[in-house]
Every structure is written in C-alpha cells, then in structure tokens.
Structure 1
Amino acid sequence: MEQRPLGSSGPLVSALALGCMGMSEFYGPSDTEQSLHTLRLALDLGVTFLDTADMYGAGHNETLLGQFLKGHRDQVVLATKFGIVRDPGATERRIDNSPAYVAAACEASLRRLGVETIDLYYCHRRNHETPVEDMVGAMARLVEAGKVRYLGLSEVSPDTLRAAHAVHPIAAVQSEYSLWTRDPERGILEACRALGVAFVAYSPLGRGFLTGALDPAHLTPDDFRSRHPRFRDDALARNRELVEHLRAFAQAKEATPAQVALAWILARHPHAIALFGAKRPERLPENVAALSLILTPGDVAALDALFAPEAVSGARYPEANMAGIET
C-alpha cells in the first residue's frame, strides 16, 4: 500500500482511505457483520486510514467502528468529525461550531469510539456565526488535552484554511473531489499544497456512479442519491454518456472505471488521499488495485478534458445539503 503524509507533521497513512458512512446510513440498510468483515478486509489489504463522523447514523457509525477498533486500534489512523447536528431519524440539520459544542462533541465521539485519542478531528461544516479563530482555538485545546492528535477541516475555502492554519496547524482538508466534481481545483487544492496540508478527496467514485455499475433507477427511497440532481431526469441521461466514455478509456487500459477514477486523483495530486466508501467487501480488492494503474500525463489530461466541469449535468447536492459548504 502506498503511503502519503497527513500534512507536513502528521503520520503516513494509506493513499486510499475507507469512508464508513454508508455502513450506517444514506445507502440503504446497515449490516453489522458485513460491515465488520469489510473493515477487516480493508485492513488486510493495507487500507489503514478510516473515516467516520458523529452524524453518520446519529452516532451508529462511530459505535460500529468502536467494535472494530477493540482489536485493531494501533493499526489504523482514525478520523471523525463534528459540526452537523441532526436528531435521530431526521433529515433536518443545523451546524454548530461553538467552542462548547466542539468540546462536548469530542467527548461523545471518544465515548462511542471507545478510544482515548482521535487521530484526526475535522470540522465537518462551517457556521460563520462562530469565528474560525474561536472554533480552531477550541479544537487546539483538545490537542493540548491529548484527546485529539491532528486537526482537519471539511469543505472550506482557501481563506478559511489560511485563517485556521494561523491559529493551529491543519493536517488535512476533506472535500468532495472526483472526475465529475472538480470544485477544489478553484483554489483549495493549491492552498493545501502551499501550506503542507493533505487533501482528502471524498466521493472519488461519484457516489458509485463513476464505477459504471450503479443503476440509479434501482435506488431505494432510503438511498439519499435518489434525491441528488445528478441522478435524475435529463441530467442522469447526459451523465451516463460520460460514464460510457470512462468505461471505454478504462477498457483500453485493461482496468475498471473505478480504478481509473481513483488513479486519476492520485496521479494528479501527490498530496491527495482518495477516500472511497464501501458497505460490502466485494469492491475492496478492485479499488486497492488502482494503485497499480499508472496514468501518464497525457492520460490525466485526456480525463481532465473528458470530464470538464461544464460537461457534467446537475448540482452535486440538493440545495439543502449545501449549507456549510464554502465555495
């Protein structure tokens, strides 16, 4: 497994990270035994960087990881997040970055995870009612107390990153980034590179769509992708054409579309880590094999052109889910 640094002073982590959100919510029903099997196989394959958040399944996801970590804590780098507040079973949410909430949320996460220290603690979304200096100051106090090792931010602008980094070193920024979501190229990737901050690309497979194996017509009502603009109506038809082009590109490389999508991120940005999700173990060996796929600069340029931002149809989230995302 290729290793990449988690910021300029952080540990080395696997270049591919496993997002655990779908094991608890958003992609249909959860299955604890299947999820634990997936986590064990990921570790066997060298994926040592695990990602969760307190709002995934209203705490269920952290509790699930807590079960797994009982026998594997020293083998993984663990990331979780605070900031999105939801009642169990509700879709409505608010964003809280207040220092009091930062402290309380961390204590709750430590308890659910069953650990003494969180390796990487992210602000999940920004609420500008709390100055970034106050929020990061509260996060820094968690580091001083030994409850957190490194700090991260999610879906922030370059200005927010620079302001936060001036208060306390930021190890990583996590934002959605893939062939069909290129927003981070408008500044945050370069800001991360300049500051020595790792960039963690979530949904690198376009929530499964870039694999070519997902048929949105069969999504269940409890799958949140069924409400996403890119998976609906005319936008879906146009985006299917892009995936067919990706499939042809992958066939020429004797690879799968998923492997190409992951390899593109790793080839394009040496400071990036690709964070893919998996509920079941079947896709793990395929995704990890992306590390063996070598894309030339010409390949990267061809994929850049094929998935030019204007070629992708539909917003990446419903409007309500854009709250707290800085552009």
Structure 2
Amino acid sequence: MAANHASPALPTRRLGTTGPLTAAIGLGCMGMSGMYGEGDRAESIATIHAALDAGITLLDTGDFYGMGHNELLISEALSTAPAAARERALISVKFGALRDPDGGWSGYDGRPAAVKNFAAYSLRRLGTDHIDIYRIARIDPAVPIEETVGAISELVQAGHVRHIGLSEAGSGTIRRAASTAPICDLQIEYSLISRGIEAEILPTVRELGIGVTAYGVLSRGLISGHFTRDRALGPTDFRAVSPRFQGDNLEHNLGLVESLRKIAEQKGVTVAQIAIAWVLSRGEDIVPLVGARRRDRLTEALGAVGLTLGAEDLAAIERAVPADAAAGDRYPTAQMAHLDSER
C-alpha cells in the first residue's frame, strides 16, 4: 500500500453564507451503527475521539441509524472527550425515516408535529440542548417542503436548532426551502462515480449561497482501494443489495478503481486519499464526510486534506474515471424512488 500523507492542521470551510465554520472534512458516523455489518462500540468511540483530536468538528448522524443507537454513541463519545473538543463539535442530524421493530423501513414523515417530535427525542439521546444542523433525510412527498422547513425554523427560533439543512433534495425543492428559511447546506452523495449533482443541483445551491456536505465520497468503500471481489457481505450490510456491488457491475467498478490506483501510486498516496482529495478540490463550499469506522481508516482519510491535485492530476483522474462511468444505480430501485434529487 502507498504511504499515507501526514495529516496537517485542518483548514476550515463555511457551510453556505449562513452556516457554521467547520473543518474541511467531517465524520459520517452511520457505519458505526450496523449499516455495514456489526459495529465495534469501543473502536467507534475511539475513532470519534481521534477525529476530534485531529481537528474534525462536524459529526453527522441520523436519528434512525440503529434506531437511536448512533446518537447515543455520539453522546457517549462526546461526554468522554476533552471539554475543548466537545465544545468545538458540531452535530448534524437527519430525521424523518420511519422504522419498524425488525429494522424495516416504512417511508418518511415531514409533518411539522413529527419534526418536533423527532427533535425532542434526538435532543434527549444526544444529551444536548441544541442540534447544530437539522434536516429531513428524504423529502416527504405528502408534505410541502415549506411546512417541514417551517417547523425546523420554529425550532431555530426556540433555540433547539441552530441551522437548517436539506438532504437529497432536487433543485426546485431547494429553491422552495430557501424561500422559506435560511438553508446552510445540502447533504447529498457526491464522489468520482456519483456526479449527478453537477448538472443542476450544484449550480442551484451555489446561486443561493448554500453549502454542500458530500457523503459517499468513497461510494461506501467501493472506491476506497480496500474493497475486493471476494469480500463477503453479511445480511445486515447495506452493500449486499446495492446495485454497484453486484456481479458485472462490481467487476466494472473495481476496474475503475484499478485505473485510479495507478494515479495514486504515482503520487505516493492511497486510492482513498485521491478520491477524497478530488471531492475537496471541487470547491471551497463542499465539505466531504468520511465514513471511517476505525482509527486507521480515519488517519488515511485525513491524509487527503494535505494532498494538492494539479491540473494534470485532475485530467488524469477524469480519464481514469469519467463522469457517468459507474455501473449500477447508487441505491436499489425502491430507495431511488425516495430521492427527490433524482426526480
């Protein structure tokens, strides 16, 4: 494996014109609560501590990750972190997904009363008096976005929430939301092999002064350089049903990774570092979220912050992994139907 770059002091980026200042890279905590198989509580907490120690400030979660498990995990990690790190931490929470006792999914609820109900439970689980950024995970098609955002705005006015975000929203919905209340950022999948936002969504948020928190920057490990063809995926691992990890799609996509690996090796870095650095290079208004579940993966990801990609590097990356080169949708068909951003 290529050597990791040492992690420099982390630069900062602001989430939109109205949002908070945060480190240029954030930590996505979903994978610590079972979405990619069983999590390791002790290692998860150690990874959150290591992220805070390294200067990461933004911790991203969802109240439905492990049915509240992820928020409780973050609360425990923050309660045992040094006071200074705890005070710098910004918590971004997604809400609205409906689950059943067997772990199934039952749609999304964006009604104002539900928004406030979800927030009340999150505040208690997180052990905090406010949520820094609050957003519905998927737009509820049965509730106008103005009503959902309006309810969050009331939580802002009451001091329970600091900033309003969006998640996987399309251009028209973003405009309607922004006309209702200030929106600091849009959380959406963005990576070398998921570039759909570039056509319309990215220009829209830039026009409106809204930042982007990019998740899936390593496409759930697919373009991390660590995923192999013979990797066994357990029944609780989301990737077991993800189209990009199936059969011929997987073969094709791992071929793209090998092309990227050649570029990484020439620069003396890892595939993951190249992929994260590419997202960082797309604009100062974009903050990549890395889903590291272990300290070694976090250290590797942090090495991307000090990696500068010149014009020749970017051109080589584009040749190796052209836009729309990936095989397979980013979610199974049923879940794609919930994405307002794909309409």
Please give the TM-score of this superposition, normalised by the length of structure 1: 0.97
Give the structure 2 partner of residue 85 of structure 1: 98
Moved more, 140-149 or 130-139: 130-139
1:22-54 CA distance string (max 9 Å, x none): 111211112211111111111111111100000
2:168 maps to amino acid? E
Give the structure 2 partner of residue 231 of structure 1: 245
Which of 194, 199, 203 does residue 207 from structure 2 map onto?
Answer: 194
Matches within 5 A, 1:63-82: 63-72=72-81, 73-82=86-95
> CA separation in 2, counterparts of 1:224 and 1:216?
16
Tell me the CA shift for residue 253 of structure 1.
1.2
**1:199 counterpart SS class:** strand
Give the structure 1 partner of residue 259 of structure 2: 245
2:149 maps to amino acid? V
Q: Contact 2:32/2:70 (CA < 8 Å) preserved in 1? A: yes
> CA separation in 2, counterparts of 1:57 and 1:16?
24
**2:179 counterpart SS class:** helix
Give the structure 2 partner of residue 278 of structure 1: 292
- 1:36 equivalenced with 2:50 (yes/no): no
Q: Contact 2:193/2:324 (CA < 8 Å) preserved in 1? A: no
- 1:265 equivalenced with 2:279 (yes/no): yes
- 1:214 equivalenced with 2:223 (yes/no): no
Runs ≥4 residues deviating over 4 A: none
Give the structure 1 partner of residue 4 of structure 2: none
Which of 111, 114, 117 does residue 98 from structure 1 map onto?
Answer: 111
Please provide the CA RMSD for this pair: 1.3
Q: Contact 1:14/1:46 (CA < 8 Å) preserved in 2? A: yes
Q: Contact 2:19/2:185 (CA < 8 Å) preserved in 1? A: no
> CA separation in 1, counterparts of 2:106 and 2:197?
24
1:64 maps to amino acid? L
**1:268 counterpart SS class:** coil
> CA separation in 2, counterparts of 1:14 and 1:216?
34
Where do 5+ consecutive residues of structure 1 fail to align? Answer: none
Tell me the CA shift for residue 216 of structure 1.
5.0
- 1:7 equivalenced with 2:16 (yes/no): yes
> CA separation in 1, counterparts of 2:251 and 2:51?
33
Give the structure 1 partner of residue 3 of structure 2: none
- 1:182 equivalenced with 2:191 (yes/no): no
**1:153 counterpart SS class:** strand
Which of 68, 89, 93 does residue 59 from structure 1 map onto?
Answer: 68
**2:62 counterpart SS class:** coil
Which of 300, 317, 323 does residue 314 from structure 2 map onto?
Answer: 300
Pick 1 or 2: higher relative contact order, CA cutoff 8 A, min separation 6. 2
> CA separation in 1, counterparts of 2:164 and 2:88?
20
> CA separation in 1, counterparts of 2:70 and 2:174?
27
Tell me the CA shift for residue 306 of structure 1.
2.8
Please give the TM-score of this superposition, normalised by the length of structure 2: 0.92
Tell me the CA shift for residue 12 of structure 1.
1.0
**1:167 counterpart SS class:** coil
> CA separation in 1, counterparts of 2:282 and 2:19?
21
2:308 maps to amino acid? I
Tell me the CA shift for residue 302 of structure 1.
3.1
Q: Contact 2:28/2:290 (CA < 8 Å) preserved in 1? A: yes
Give the structure 2 partner of residue 131 of structure 1: 144
Q: Tell me how many residue pairs correspond in the alignment.
A: 327
> CA separation in 2, counterparts of 1:59 and 1:301?
43
> CA separation in 2, counterparts of 1:88 and 1:24?
15
Where do 5+ consecutive residues of structure 2 fail to align? Answer: 1-9
**2:235 counterpart SS class:** coil
Tell me the CA shift for residue 136 of structure 1.
0.9
Tell me the CA shift for residue 160 of structure 1.
0.7
